[in-house]
Amino acid sequence: MKGKVLVAYGSTNGSTAEIAERIGEVLAKEGLAVDVLPAADATDLASYGAVVLGGGLYAGHWQRDARRFARRHRKALTQRPVWLFSSGPLDPSASERDIPPAPGVRRVADRVDARGHITFGGRLEGEVKGRIARMIVNSGKGGDYRDFEQISRWAAMVARDLEGPGI
């Protein structure tokens, strides 16, 4: 594959950022050059041969910075391999079954011809931003439902796909 892989993410409370970091670590371990950046900081895709874009889900919508990144870089994204991930369910469901992308994420996937999408469990605990997030944590319904083994397996699959013929 020519160029580096960009792992860009939209994260409000840090959970999605930590998922993106793990994806970046696995891609690097697989021998790929990787940059992991907040979506708002990724301004030029020229040096990237592939992109992994993720966003936290809030009330069924991708985090704002991930949506803006996809919109701002739509043309560039259609010209390279792209994978998408979401994080959000505050229960073990994402580790137990495939959760389809939220409608807005599905539209992004279709517009950029994404090679794949996965939904990972989320984390919401401690001091969090946002009134609704605080209500969830204060009601005892938060927690950490991320499955880092699942995240690592998915990232390794992306790396194998990038090493395949024609990339």
**DSSP per residue, 51-98:** EEEEEEEETTEE-HHHHHHHHHTHHHHTTS-EEEEEE--SSTHHHHS-
pLDDT tens by residue, 58-96: 888 999 999 999 999 999 999 999 999 999 888 888 899
Considering only residues 127 and 40, tell me which one the structure prediction assigns the higher pLDDT. Answer: 40
Predicted model pTM: 0.92
What pLDDT does 165 receive? Answer: 59
Residues of the chain by 3-state class (helix, strand, coil), percent to 5: 40, 25, 35
What pLDDT does 74 receive? Answer: 97
Q: Is residue 101 over pLDDT 60?
A: yes
Coil, helix or strand at residue 157: helix
